[in-house]
Amino acid sequence: MKNQFVILAAGKGTRMGDGPVPKVLVMLKNKPLILYVLHEIEKVNQLAKPVVVVGFQAKKVQGVLGNHYSYAYQDKQLGTAHAVQAARSKARAENIVVLYGDMPFIKAGSLSELIKMHLHSGAKISMLTTQVDNFRGKFSSLEHFGRILRDPNHNIIGIVEFKDATDVQRKIKEVNPGIYMFNAKWLWESLKHIGNKNVQQEYYLTDIVGVAIAQGERVHNFSVPPEQVLGINTREELETAEKLIK
């Protein structure tokens, strides 16, 4: 079992206007958001059963998805790094791909390219990035994604969350969709070094990039079209997605 997906699916969809429902079960064209993601994952040749991290109304999510997946439980919503840590007991592979269950436009081809790049480079951490010309129209949801920080040689040196970014950093047009691939042994050890000294007091998985940089590790990235990583957090963004989904 060389590679394995971990899908983060523990959050609430409180901003979607339908009351407190699991975010990943919000309907898009009469299908839950997470099913779009899982159907793309099924196209990627993997040996290990994917792990779905559930939390809010966990039984409802499991009821929809069935027994095709392993389930890990995140008891409190303490951030994305905390969610990944919750998956440790169920993850079995040498390499772990982490992604969100509410990104219905991600494509199997992009995930396959990420895996291929990661394995070829022997990296400890690899990630998807995307770039936009502006944050207007259908790309408005990307404005609140973390910004990619690079050095003069174009190497990634960090990610800053939008809520913690300066005005200058918020003008950066290269953003982080939050899809990563890790060497599993390195991941579990590195999660111990992530703190919660930020505006939200959460454990951000993005901070693991800083851990890698401090260790002298290169962060590899593969850029994808922004259409593949559109965020859906509000009723307006859901309506935009309805017009784009095929």
pLDDT at 15: 62
pLDDT at 169: 97
18: pLDDT strictly greater than 60: no
127: pLDDT strictly greater than 60: yes
pLDDT tens for 49-87 read 999 999 999 999 999 999 999 999 999 889 999 999 999
Tokens of 3: 């590679």
When pLDDT is cut at 50, 70 and 90, the band that residue 21 belongs to is confident
What is the arithmetic mean of pLDDT over 135-143?
Answer: 93
Active site residue 15: yes
For residue 165, give the nearest of 143, 141, 146 by alpha carbon.
Answer: 146
233: pLDDT strictly greater than 90: no
State the Cα angle at 194 between 80 and 88, rounded to 5°.
Answer: 55
What is the arithmetic mean of pLDDT over 29-51?
Answer: 92
Phi, psi of 78 (to 5 degrees): -110, 20
The partner residues of 71 in beta bridges, in order of sequence, read 52
For residue 178, give the nearest of 69, 81, 49, 64 by alpha carbon.
Answer: 81
When pLDDT is cut at 50, 70 and 90, the band that residue 14 belongs to is low
For residue 17, give the nearest of 240, 229, 238, 243 by alpha carbon.
Answer: 238
Q: How far apart are CA 83 and CA 72, in angstroms?
A: 9
**HSE on the CB side for 176, CA within 13 Å?**
29
Q: How far apart are CA 229 and CA 139, in angstroms?
A: 10
The percent of residues above 70 in pLDDT, for the chain, comes to 97
**What pTM was estimated for this model as a whole?**
0.94
Q: How far apart are CA 229 and CA 130, in angstroms?
A: 8
pLDDT at 70: 96
| Higher local confidence (pLDDT), 233 or 8 | 8
Listed in sequence order, the DSSP H helices in the chain are 33-41, 58-65, 80-86, 108-121, 184-190, 207-214, 235-244
**Lowest mean pLDDT segment, chosen from 97-101, 196-200, 222-226:** 196-200
| Sign of the Cα pseudo-torsion (112, 239, 164, 169, in order) | positive
Q: How far apart are CA 12 and CA 77, in angstroms?
A: 10
Domains and CATH numbers, the chain: 3-244 (3.90.550.10)
How far from 208 is each of 8, 152, 190, CA to CA, in Å? 16, 21, 7
107: pLDDT strictly greater than 80: yes
Residue of 15, 88, 92, 150 marked active site:
15
What is the arithmetic mean of pLDDT over 137-150?
Answer: 94
Q: Which residues contact 192 (CB under 8 A, 6 or more apart)?
A: none
Q: How far apart are CA 147 and CA 12, in angstroms?
A: 24
Phi, psi of 12 (to 5 degrees): -95, 155
